[in-house]
């Protein structure tokens, strides 16, 4: 292999965790596309229409990869998510651990007598399990050319992470979360694909060649998926992204691209000056004059004429009181605040400043330019079969495999099969999902779709909505609209906040667990 297999497995495990966190940034499967409904399990997400017809199931709000200035920021968000996820789910590597955490790689040192180093809610962590984790951590640090901490420091860090993970696994089991066989098979196939291996059998041979037990590797992968699902359920409800968050993020992106992103506004003003040391009676009289001008302006009289009549600004209102089109941050904060909710033509109430009384009218508004963001889009179609029992799943799998054989052999048309068999809202369109942005589908669907060549039909795969076949029709690079950019920004920010919230949540789970540390036997 051109790259070390265990290094790629590390990348895959982190990517798995990131994909899990990224899936929280938008809900459900297929969002509405060419008339299809959104199917979104999380109530905190975008609206889902209630209609009697079947929903298009596999989409979620746009997210993930983008080129341009957003790409770098997206990478930072993904890195933060990966870091958070890796805390609780150490990546699979050459020393992949099984369910018990035992290492599959031989140790150069003689095996020591085993003993319990910690109890987590009465479940033991043994010295051999811990030593395997430490060996794996040392290997990963070495691969990344990271300076090795002192042995006692590394042991404490690894044990803390191990305890946190064990507490989370226990919580997942208490909540009844499980990983079915088909999902595990799909994850394993994804590992093979990311390692440029033609099949899971080839992956198994490569694992064995590097001394990694396939059974332990699958157990570790299963545990990671279980923890990913737990985090999806536990962290998503904690995260909220406001419109102000999105506006600020887009301005930051525009600045990085050198784009003028600050909105501009042209205001007209009438100023009734209040001289210093004016008596209360004089101030009251000037306020009456300002109120009179404001009332006439709101009644629809020509503002420019009123400015010429009343205003005591530098030009005495001869310019109609216009202050000129300029970025909002170049106006006094008082003016911006007073006019922020007004549309073009709106007139404020009387506003008091140190200079006197102001009446402001919004003459013109211009939005700030959006940064240029280009994303790869995929045009695909799919067939969805619902399953509610193991027997349903077996028959659905066989049907999809038969459809794939017939389509691959040229004996059937994918669109015709979708119209006949698919239980998705897209069935009437031959399963056509339209053009989709990155992150628009749930991770388990998108991961398989992204690995397909144009025209290729996938093997049957499971998502939270059922069993699918996917066929990719076309791919292209496409600039994002303003609406899509805001949706993308929302998901980037959601991933960032989830990474931060994950740390808090993980500490809470650890704090609720009963942990007893044990000393080594003398």
Dig out the tokens for 515 from the structure: 């942990």
- Cα separation, 107 vs 370, in Å, equals 56
> Given this model, what pLDDT does residue 371 score?
64
CATH annotation of 374-479? 3.10.50.40
Query: In CATH, which of 3.30.110.40, 3.10.50.40, 3.40.50.2030, 3.40.1280.30 is domain 263-366?
Result: 3.10.50.40
pLDDT class of 46 with cuts at 50, 70, 90: very low
Which stretches of 373-480 are DSSP H helices? 390-408, 414-421, 443-450
Q: Is the pLDDT of residue 136 over 90?
A: no
Question: How far, rounded to the nearest angstrom, does the alpha carbon of residue 3 sit from its chain's CA centroid?
Answer: 29
Q: What is the per-residue pLDDT across 283-317, written as a single tens digit (0 to 9) for each?
A: 999 999 999 999 999 999 999 999 999 998 867 66
The per-residue DSSP string of 246-298 comes to HHHHHHHHHHHHT---S-EEEEEEEEEE--TT--HHHHHHHHHHHHHHHHHHH
Query: Of 498, 341, 458, nearest to 20 (Cα)?
Result: 498
In terms of DSSP bridges, do strands 356-366 and 116-120 run parallel, antiparallel, or are they unpaired? unpaired
Structural contact between residues 439 and 491, judged by C-beta atoms closer than 8 angstroms: yes
User: What's the pLDDT band for 212 if we cut at 50, 70, 90?
Assistant: confident
The model's pTM? 0.47
CB 408 within 8 A of CB 457: yes
Nearest to 470 by CA among 388, 414, 428, 396: 414
Residues across the chain: 522
CB 364 within 8 A of CB 344: yes
Q: Are strands 356-366 and 264-273 parallel, antiparallel or unpaired?
A: antiparallel
pLDDT tens digits for range 463-494: 888 899 999 999 999 887 878 888 888 888 98
* Exposure on the CB side of residue 143, measured as CA atoms within 13 A: 17
Tens-place pLDDT, residues 399-410: 999 999 999 999
In this structure, which topology does domain 5-26+61-242+482-517 adopt according to CATH? Triger factor/SurA peptide-binding fold (1.10.4030)
The HSE-up count of residue 228 (CA atoms within 13 Å, CB side) is 29
pLDDT in tens, 49-80: 333 344 456 555 333 333 333 333 333 333 33
CATH 3.10.50.40 domain locations along the chain: 263-366, 374-479
CB atoms within 10 A of CB 75: 11
């Amino acid at each position: 292999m051109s790259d070390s297999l265990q290094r790629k497995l590390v990348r895959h495990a982190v990517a798995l965790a990131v994909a899990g966190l990224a899936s929280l940034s938008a809900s459900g499967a297929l969002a509405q596309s060419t008339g299809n409904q959104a199917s979104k399990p999380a109530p905190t997400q975008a609206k889902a229409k209630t209609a009697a017809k079947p929903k298009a199931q596999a989409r979620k709000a746009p997210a993930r990869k983008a080129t341009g200035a957003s790409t770098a920021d997206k990478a930072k968000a993904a890195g933060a998510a990966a870091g958070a996820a890796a805390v609780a789910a150490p990546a699979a590597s050459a020393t992949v651990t099984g369910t018990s955490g035992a290492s599959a790689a031989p140790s150069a040192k003689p095996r020591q007598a085993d003993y319990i180093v910690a109890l987590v809610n009465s479940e033991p962590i043994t010295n051999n399990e811990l030593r395997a984790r430490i060996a794996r951590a040392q290997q990963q640090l070495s691969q990344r050319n990271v300076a090795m901490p002192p042995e006692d420091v590394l042991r404490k860090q690894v044990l803390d992470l191990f305890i946190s993970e064990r507490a989370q696994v226990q919580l997942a089991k208490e909540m009844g979360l499980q990983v079915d066989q088909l999902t595990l098979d799909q994850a394993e196939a994804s590992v093979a694909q990311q390692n440029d291996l033609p099949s899971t059998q080839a992956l198994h041979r490569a694992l064995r060649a590097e001394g990694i037990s396939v059974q332990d590797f699958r157990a570790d992968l299963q545990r990671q998926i279980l923890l990913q699902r737990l985090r999806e359920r536990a962290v998503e409800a904690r995260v909220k992204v406001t419109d102000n968050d999105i506006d600020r993020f887009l301005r930051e992106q525009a600045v990085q691209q050198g784009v003028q992103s600050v909105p501009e506004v042209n205001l007209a003003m009438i100023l009734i000056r209040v001289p210093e040391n004016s008596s209360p009676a004089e101030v009251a009289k000037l306020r009456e004059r300002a109120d009179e001008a404001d009332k006439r302006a709101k009644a629809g009289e020509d503002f420019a004429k009123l400015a010429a009549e009343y205003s005591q600004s530098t030009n005495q209102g001869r310019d109609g009181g216009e202050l000129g089109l300029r970025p909002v941050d170049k106006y006094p904060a008082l003016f911006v605040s007073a006019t922020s909710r007004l549309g073009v033509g709106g007139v404020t109430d009387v506003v008091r400043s140190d200079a006197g009384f102001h009446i402001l009218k919004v003459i013109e508004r211009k939005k700030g330019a959006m940064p240029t963001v280009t994303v790869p889009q995929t045009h695909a179609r799919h067939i969805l079969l619902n399953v509610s029992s193991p027997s349903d799943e077996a028959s659905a799998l066989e049907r999809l495999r038969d459809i794939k054989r017939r389509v691959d052999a040229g004996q059937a048309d994918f669109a015709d099969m979708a119209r006949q068999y698919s239980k998705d809202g897209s069935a009437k369109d031959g399963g056509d999902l339209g053009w989709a942005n990155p992150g628009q589908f749930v991770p388990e669907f998108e991961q398989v779709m992204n690995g397909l060549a144009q025209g290729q039909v996938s093997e049957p795969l499971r998502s939270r909505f059922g069993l699918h076949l996917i066929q990719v029709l076309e791919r292209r690079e496409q600039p994002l609209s303003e609406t899509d950019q805001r949706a993308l920004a929302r998901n980037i920010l959601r991933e960032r906040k989830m990474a931060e919230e994950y740390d808090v949540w993980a500490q809470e789970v650890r704090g609720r667990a009963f942990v007893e540390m044990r000393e080594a036997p003398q």
